[in-house]
């Protein structure tokens, strides 16, 4: 997995599947949300994401009042978020 941030736009390429992926995502997003209250998250091709990442995104939205806007490139991941009733929470849309 590779993650890049530019202003409040964060792009994640590759599958989100390991603990180190979670740690990378958390580190980058912690830096971004320190400056921005709206984050545009582009998840280009991941098939799924770990529960720790989902929990972290939930915390950002529900506890920290971050406006998270996800652009999902993979149909399966968008369906997963929809099935978990998280698509609206994360403002997830097809990229």
Rounded mean pLDDT of the chain? Answer: 97
Pick the CATH number of 2-94 from 3.30.390.50, 3.40.640.10, 3.30.750.24, 3.40.50.10380: 3.30.750.24
Q: Residue 82: pLDDT band by 50, 70, 90 thresholds?
A: very high
Residues 81/87, Cβ–Cβ less than 8 Å: yes
Model pTM score? 0.94
Domain limits of the chain? 2-94
Which residues, at least 6 apart from 27, have a Cβ–Cβ distance to it below 8 Å?
A: none
Of 80, 86, 93, 95, give the one whose Cα is nearest residue 59: 86
Residues 43/29, Cβ–Cβ less than 8 Å: no
33-57 mean pLDDT: 97
Which pLDDT score, from 0 to 100, does residue 76 have?
96
Of 9, 24, 1, give the one whose Cα is nearest residue 71: 9
- Which SS3 state, helix, strand or coil, does residue 58 take? helix
């Amino acid at each position: 997995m590779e993650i890049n941030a530019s202003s409040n736009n964060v792009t994640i390429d590759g599958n989100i599947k390991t603990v180190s992926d979670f740690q990378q995502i958390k580190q980058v997003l912690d830096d971004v949300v320190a400056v921005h209250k709206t984050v545009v998250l582009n998840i280009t091709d991941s098939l799924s994401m770990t529960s720790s990442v989902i929990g972290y995104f939930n915390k950002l939205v529900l506890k920290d009042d971050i406006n998270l806007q996800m652009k999902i490139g993979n149909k399966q991941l968008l369906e997963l978020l929809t099935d978990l009733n998280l698509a609206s929470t994360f403002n997830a849309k097809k990229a």
